[in-house]
Amino acid sequence: MSIIQNMGPLNVVHYEPGVCNIGPAEIARRRRFGHLGLIASVILLGGLVATGVPHPARLLLVLTVGGSASGYLQARFHFCAGFGSAGVYNLGPLGTTVPVSDLNARARDRAKAMQIGLASLAIGVVVAVAAVLLPF
């Protein structure tokens, strides 16, 4: 099976365990989620700084930055962590999924989902700790 070469609307996308489990519509959805998380992160940090709350409160950024990172990582890797954990994929219209019946494929999908989750958390933690250390 091939991986996505070009994400043009007429190109066919193939499911590949642990590599690709979403198509263009789902990828766009994950990218939008990343954008929203980034905007929420900027607004949250601005609000925390503007109101003068204690610096440790900036650790809340773990949630918004981690969510943003998750969206961007899933879009970049063409892989939905939630679908990977649930044992499904969607290469078609939003709202449709296909079950993955092969146990080896499901294991590879769960491993990729875990990688994305841990990477998102790590990014969230690093950014939140950096925000706590900012002098303003």
The answer to the question of residue 8 being in a domain is no
Within a domain: 13: no
Task: Let me know: does 82 contact 113? Beta carbons within 8 Å.
Answer: yes
- The total of structural domains in the chain comes to 1
Over the stretch 45-77, which tens digit does the pLDDT of each residue have?
999 999 999 999 999 999 999 999 999 999 999
Confidence of residue 129 (pLDDT cuts 50, 70, 90): very high
Q: Which residue has the tokens 């494929």?
A: 105
Residue 129 in any domain: the answer is yes
Torsional class of 78: left (φ above 0), alpha (ψ -120 to 50), beta (otherwise): left
Residue 108 pLDDT: 98
pLDDT band with cut points at 50, 70 and 90 for residue 13: confident
pLDDT tier at 12, thresholds 50, 70, 90: low
- Domain of residue 89, residue span: 24-133
Where residue 88 falls (left for φ over 0; alpha for ψ -120 to 50; beta otherwise) is: beta
